[in-house]
Amino acid sequence: MNNILARHVFCLIFPILFAIYIFPLLIKIANKFNILDNPDGKIKNHQMPVPYLGGVGIFIPFIATLAISYPFENQVLWLLLGITFLLFVGLVDDLKALVPLQKFAGQIIAVICFLKGGYSLKNIFFSDSLNFFISGFWMLSIINAFNLIDVMDGLTAIVSIMAGLSFFLIALYLKQYTISMLIVAFVAPIIIFFYYNKKPAKIYLGDAGSLYIGGFFAAIPQLINWSNINYIAYYTTVVILAIPVLEIFFLVLIRTFKHIPFYRPTPDHFALYLKRKGWSVQKILNFIVFVSLLLLIISFLFLLKIISLKILILLGFIFLLFWIWLIFF
């Protein structure tokens, strides 16, 4: 037990220290080589160009931590291959804007890596083909959800930290310590990134970072062995990731209603709606933390069988109505 605790502490402290060192360096590099996000007066309303490379800053400490302390099993290697490829695709998009089809093709390749590594539903009521299809669609949706939610200083970071905390506690509860260590090592540098990304942001994730984060949270629930609880426990993933899931769902719905391609940027993100209603950035972030903690509590109540699936679905419907009221009324 002491060894497990020590390894968790290392997976927290080492990437944090590494990130503290590397972020100022990456900001200088981005400024020197003009790797900047320039305001456009539409979606990008920041006053001055802001350095990209935040995604690189959270990736390097994570990989370095795993290289030192983590057992590289075959399934984990496929995860790393997929998220590294997403980082690369996003970095190319940041430096030289890709057309949507190229970006989507890169995401599909990453999802194939995840599926090849066994990151798929194991629902006994579905055929293998249907499990693969649902898993692939789900992972593509989550990857894009985290990409789409990155529209405000600190937002993706705080959503990621809270989602990471939730999956970490679940892995810890299930005594799946290698997974909980993996999550700690992943989230730790994001904590430091949040410091540099909160308003006024000194560095942005860029597509490299948001796709990389999305890939991790698309795959990690399928690395957890949920069978220790029951066959439907996996679906708490939808509860934990409810905020990015609702983001992509309503964006696609609204853009389709407006006859706009779902991949074309519009100011219809939930955070931008709240800002137009007079909410400050800090109030929005505090709200995200509160909602995420509430979703975490609901998830554990379901995992512990304190509430049934019917109650979970009812709570989900109530939350959906609340979200619609909050954003649109």
| Three-class DSSP category at 36 | strand
Q: For residues 16 and 191, is the Cβ–Cβ distance under 8 A?
A: yes
Token representation of residue 110: 């990453």
Q: Which residues of 221-258 are buried (b: 16+ CB within 10 A; e: fewer)?
A: bbbbebeebeeebbbbbebbbbbbbbbbebbeebbeee
Q: Count structural domains, the chain.
A: 1
* Mean pLDDT of all residues in 109-129: 84
Compute CA distances 236 → 49, 81, 136, 149, 316, whole Å.
Answer: 39, 26, 18, 20, 11
Q: What is the pLDDT of residues 281-303, one digit of tens each?
A: 999 999 999 999 999 999 999 99
Q: 70-74, 159-163, 198-202: which has the minimum mean pLDDT? A: 70-74
- Could you give the angle at which helices 177-197 and 2-32 cross, rounded to 10 degrees? 30
As a whole-number percent, the residues of the chain with pLDDT over 90 amount to 69
Distance CA 64, CA 62 (A): 5
- pLDDT of 41 reads 59
Residue showing tokens 């972020």 = 23
Compute CA distances 16 → 11, 13, 119, 323, whole Å.
Answer: 9, 5, 28, 34
- pLDDT of 278 reads 92
Q: 88-102, 113-127, 188-202, 250-264: which has the minimum mean pLDDT? A: 113-127
Does this model's pTM top 0.85? yes
Compute CA distances 293 → 82, 127, 172, whole Å.
Answer: 29, 35, 17
Tell me the residue ranges of DSSP E strands in the chain: 36-37, 50-51
Domain that holds residue 123: 2-328
- In DSSP terms, 66 is beta-bridged to none
Token representation of residue 85: 């490829």
